[in-house]
Structure 1
Amino acid sequence: MHITSRLAAIGTAVACGAVFAALPDRPSRADTRCDVALVLAIDVSGSIDTAEYRLQTDGLALALSDPDVTSALVSGGAAVMVLHWSSVFQQQVVIPWRRMQEPGDVEALARDAGQLRRSFSRSDTAPGEMIAALPALFESAPPCLRRVADISGDGPVNAGRPVPPETRRAQQAGITLNAIAIEDRGSGNPITEFYRRYVITPDGFVMTARGLGDYAPVLRRKLLRELVIPTG
């Protein structure tokens, strides 16, 4: 009986081992699907004063904290980077690539975004230099189905290289350029038109925020539009 019991136990263990061996390995966090790699490129040039910078930073944190944005980021396993940009040689990664795979990841990103210290001040506006830096930044991203740069700004180019050639190079690198133009209330749409004509790629879009107080709700709508995978 003793030998028989041992043989039975061994047989059970072998059978269980076979079952466990047949089960697929649980994918690691790094192996899960990523729908979009998203660079949030924030203008910190001289036209943005201290109070406006705070409004822009708080607006980013508020937009990221929105439940719909959180859900969209997590469901697609998005990778997100935050970039400060201003003049020539003034592009600073302030939050490196992070995967958004659970609500806590987005919560941490929103918290850190709201505490970001300004990288540059009292400097020119060189969107061409910022766009030129994007291909290398995306090369360091996790593998994702799409590459999208979300560019915010309140002024046209006054320094650095011309914008249109860099936009074309970004497009050739598979990067979609979208923009949020921050317009002064009552000033018309000169910044919006600048971004529409020179900055965004053919598959991109621009949205307008009427003053920095309008930034958070517009950014929320923009993020939701960017995070939906295009169909057709």
Structure 2
Amino acid sequence: MKAPVISRALAVVAALVALHAAAQPLCRQALALGLDVSGSVDSREYRLQLDGLATALGDPDVTAALLAQPGLPVRLAVYEWSEPGDERLVLPWTDINTPADIAFVQTRLNTTQRADMGPSTGIGSALRTGFALLAQQDSCWVRTLDISGDGKGNTGQLPQDVTNMPPGVTVNALVIGVDGSVTATNRNLQIGELTAYYKTNVLRGPDAFVETALSFDAYAEAMRRKLLRELATIVLGDITLQ
């Protein structure tokens, strides 16, 4: 007498699994980008960061990498972060299937205006926000979090103590140097120290890496290099692996 009940239960489970699969189509890579908008980032640098990301996405080689596998899109999300509790989603998860999708993301970035957010730098909170976003994308083959920043964490949970990372996620970073008015020697020392900090405390995953921009003026080119490295593919027969 219990067999029909079990069968119905299994049917319900199967239906739920099917609904989840329908709601979460496969994607090649989920890429969440967290942009530092703390007090050390002025209004000009803010625009260089968002517009620089838009420019990098429009680079022909980046566009080709994004569109390399029709039917298996890269899925992008972009958020801003400063101190704990001040995180803002600029671009919700968006599948990149066509050049029009890239143009949509570029327009969103180019037209986003700065919000009123706290001055301090909560990298731990930025990581938690990125991990929560990537936890929504368990149907993607690869899940990557990018954290851009021009300084060390100085408030909230230490980045090395954040533990809510979903399995298999990689955390990369883009370190931005101080304003170009300083001497080259001082700038290189600052970038070297900040790069070491991110390598020790922020990066996760065996292939994680840090890209560097000498200043916000160099952000677009540094982002282009980073995206090309992250989106690089290896083709084996009919299967593309990241």
- Shorter chain as denominator, the TM-score bin is 0.7 to 0.9
Deviation at residue 118 of structure 1 after TM alignment: 1.8
Q: Residues 125 and 31 (structure 1 numbering): CA distance in 2 closer, same or farther, change over 3 Å?
A: closer
Q: Is 1:72 aligned with 2:65?
A: yes
1:15-63: CA deviation from partner (whole Å, max 9, x where unpaired):
xxxxxxxxxxxxxx98875211000110000000011111111111110
After superposition, residues 212-227 of structure 1 pair within 5 angstroms as 212-227=216-231
1:63-107: CA deviation from partner (whole Å, max 9, x where unpaired):
011111111112241000001011011111111000001111011
The 8 Å contact of residues 124 and 159 in structure 2, kept in 1 or not, is answered as: yes
Q: Which secondary structure state, in structure 1, belongs to the residue aligned with residue 97 of structure 2?
A: coil
- The match for 1:50 is 43
Amino acid at match of 1:178: N
Question: What is the percentage of aligned positions where both structures have the same residue?
Answer: 37
- The match for 2:107 is 111
Q: Is 1:130 aligned with 2:134?
A: no
The 8 Å contact of residues 76 and 96 in structure 2, kept in 1 or not, is answered as: yes
Q: Is 1:208 aligned with 2:212?
A: yes
Q: Unaligned 5+ residue runs, structure 2?
A: 1-21, 235-240
Q: Which secondary structure state, in structure 1, belongs to the residue aligned with residue 171 of structure 2?
A: strand
Amino acid at match of 1:119: A
Aligned length: 202
> Aligned-residue CA RMSD in angstroms?
2.2
Find the structure with the greater CA-based Rg. 1
Q: Unaligned 5+ residue runs, structure 1?
A: 1-28
The 8 Å contact of residues 43 and 84 in structure 1, kept in 2 or not, is answered as: yes
TM-score normalised per structure 2: 0.77
Deviation at residue 174 of structure 1 after TM alignment: 2.1
Q: Residues 176 and 119 (structure 1 numbering): CA distance in 2 closer, same or farther, change over 3 Å?
A: farther
| Runs of 4+ deviating beyond 6 Å | 29-32
> What is the rounded CA distance, in whole Å, between the counterparts of 1:131 and 1:218 in structure 2?
21
Give the alignment partner of residue 176 of structure 2, picking from 170, 182, 194: 182
Deviation at residue 139 of structure 1 after TM alignment: 2.6
Give the alignment partner of residue 77 of structure 2, picking from 76, 81, 91: 81
> What is the rounded CA distance, in whole Å, between the counterparts of 1:117 and 1:175 in structure 2?
30
Amino acid at match of 2:27: C
Q: Report the structure, 1 or 2, having the larger helix content.
A: 1
